[in-house]
Amino acid sequence: ILYLFTDSRTGLLMSVCSLAMFVLMKYAKPLQGNKWVYLLGILFIVGAVAFSVFMAKYSIHHPFVRKIDDYLSNLSKKLPNNKIYFIALEGRCCSGKTTLTKNIKNASVIHADDFFSNTSEPLDFNRLKNVLLNLEPNKINTYEIFNCMSKNINDAYSFKKTDILKKIVIVEGVYSYHEAIRDIYDEVIYINSSDNQLQRLLNRCNGNSDLYNKFINIWIPREELYFNSFDFIKNASIII
């Protein structure tokens, strides 16, 4: 039951193998009473648990997660407890920003997409800025988000709670380092990758051709203008 609440494939393997061993021991009478079989079973379970713990702590879901998490860990030790250090995580659509932040342990994450604007502006920068400036470290924070996929504007707004906020807050998403809120940040990390972008975009759209066409014909060209307006390569503290 424990592994139903985790992503531990090692735990699942251990559970399946343990069940197989139980069935084998129950119905294979020649093995019953053989102390070496029991000893090997115990060693297997202990080894599987140790391996699971090791992989949970050190496995790399993204080639740069460990590098960035170590960097954030060292940075966090130098920061005062009452100050939030803001980092923008920028990169083109479907470049892997959200996937990267899902595996980062040493920072809290705010998603720029939660501040989608239903106007000519790509994001509601005033609301995003207000949320960032009012975040409190070492506390659970609540803020309003906008679901751009909602078909009903009246149902589009809801509230999101953070975990206990860490000293480092990463705002991930296109336009997170827009000039309208750039002064808030202490640094920017830039993902300079567009490999397999169209395939990931197709997966994100989940077969919705209208949504895919909006990305291709409207949103991505607009994003290109944004990325061409600022030298992220020159100004980023880390380039992935």
Which pLDDT score, from 0 to 100, does residue 208 have? 74
Nearest C-alpha neighbor of 143 from the set 125, 124, 119, 127: 127
On whether the CB atoms of residues 62 and 103 are closer than 8 A, the answer is: yes
Least confident stretch, 52-61, 122-131, 138-147? 52-61
User: Which pTM value belongs to this model?
Assistant: 0.69
| Cα–Cα distance list, 42 to 10, 20, 53 (Å) | 16, 14, 17
| Cα–Cα distance list, 85 to 80, 135, 183 (Å) | 10, 11, 12
Q: For residue range 82-111, what is the model confidence (pLDDT) as tens digits? A: 889 999 999 988 777 888 888 888 999 999
Least confident stretch, 28-32, 36-40, 92-96, 110-114? 28-32
Structure tokens at 118: 């239903």
On whether the CB atoms of residues 75 and 85 are closer than 8 A, the answer is: yes
Which pLDDT score, from 0 to 100, does residue 183 have? 96
Please, what's the b/e burial string for 145-162 (b: 16 or more CB within 10 A of its CB; e: otherwise)? Answer: bbeeeeeeeeeeeeeeeb
